[in-house]
């Protein structure tokens, strides 16, 4: 894996032909740059300004990332319009999201509980998929386009459908309910 997000984008996206192209034209990169700033402010308990800046970033990029989210290294949002990442979301290293993905929460009325998903390392969530609630998506798993995931997914799985079903586990075809 590349040591930088720009390097990872160049590796993963055949349309990315030059680092300058990525820097200028990739809203996922812009969203992550801005997230790192307002997340830092959030951790300093400057929550109002952090939330304001997150809304400015959403306006500029079409990608909404709550300042309270925890995001690992080399997180790539490709064609990110409409991506929503909730406050208690945890995203590991080398994960990828595509347009329209929601990592959403379950409204509990209690703001101090974890109510958004956890993505372990090297997880890919395809276009339009929804992962809702305090669920964990295991390392190296793939969530298929437009799938809805409401339960934990083990490592090394591919999930498709509404509700999500495991169709591949550890390289073998299966058909399992979550």
Using one digit for the tens of pLDDT, what is the confidence trace for 127-168? 999 999 999 999 999 999 999 999 999 999 999 999 999 999
72: buried, middle or exposed (CB in 10 Å: 19+, 13-18, 0-12)?
middle
Residue linked to tokens 């680092």: 19
Cis peptide bond upstream of 163, omega within 30:
yes
Question: Where do we find the tokens 């055949």?
Answer: 14
CA 146 to chain centre: 14
Measured CA to CA, the distance from residue 145 to residue 128 in angstroms comes to 6
Percent of the chain at pLDDT above 70? Answer: 97
Three-state DSSP state, 83: coil
Tell me what pLDDT residue 106 has. Answer: 87
pLDDT in tens, 35-45: 999 999 999 99
SS3 label, residue 159: strand
Question: Bridge-partner residues for 70, per DSSP?
Answer: 90
- Partners of 76 in beta bridges: 96
Domains of the chain (ranges; CATH) run 5-173 (2.160.10.10)
Q: What phi and psi, each to the nearest 5 degrees, are found at residue 107?
A: -70, 110
Report the pLDDT value the prediction gives residue 23, as an integer from 0 to 100.
Answer: 94
Query: In the structure encoding, which two tokens stand for residue 106, read together?
Result: 């379950």
Query: Looking at the predicted structure, is the pLDDT value of residue 1 above 60?
Result: no
d(CA 178, CA 151): 6
d(CA 132, CA 173): 25
On the CB side of 45, how many CA atoms lie within 13 Å of its CA?
Answer: 0
Give the model confidence (pLDDT) of 56-78 as tens digits. Answer: 999 999 999 999 999 999 999 99
Using a pLDDT cut of 90, give the percent of the chain over it: 91
Establish whether the linkage from the previous residue to 119 is cis, with ω within 30° of 0: no
What is the average per-residue pLDDT within 4-30?
93
């Amino acid at each position: 894996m590349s040591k930088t997000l720009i390097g990872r984008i160049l590796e993963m996206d055949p349309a990315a032909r030059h680092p300058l192209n990525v820097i200028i034209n990739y809203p996922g990169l812009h969203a992550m740059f801005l997230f790192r700033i307002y997340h830092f402010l959030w951790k300093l308990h400057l929550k109002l300004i952090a939330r304001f800046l997150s809304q400015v970033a959403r306006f500029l990029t079409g990608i909404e990332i709550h300042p309270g989210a925890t995001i690992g290294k080399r997180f790539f949002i490709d064609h990110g319009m409409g991506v929503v990442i909730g406050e208690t979301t945890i995203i590991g290293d080398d994960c990828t999201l595509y347009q329209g993905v929601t990592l959403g929460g379950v409204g509990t009325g209690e703001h101090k509980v974890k109510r958004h998903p956890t993505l372990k390392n090297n997880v890919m969530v395809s276009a339009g998929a929804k992962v809702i609630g305090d669920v964990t998506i295991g390392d190296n798993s793939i969530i298929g386009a437009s799938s809805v995931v409401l339960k934990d997914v083990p490592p090394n799985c591919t999930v498709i459908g509404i509700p999500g079903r495991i169709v591949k586990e550890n390289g073998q075809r299966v058909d399992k309910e979550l």
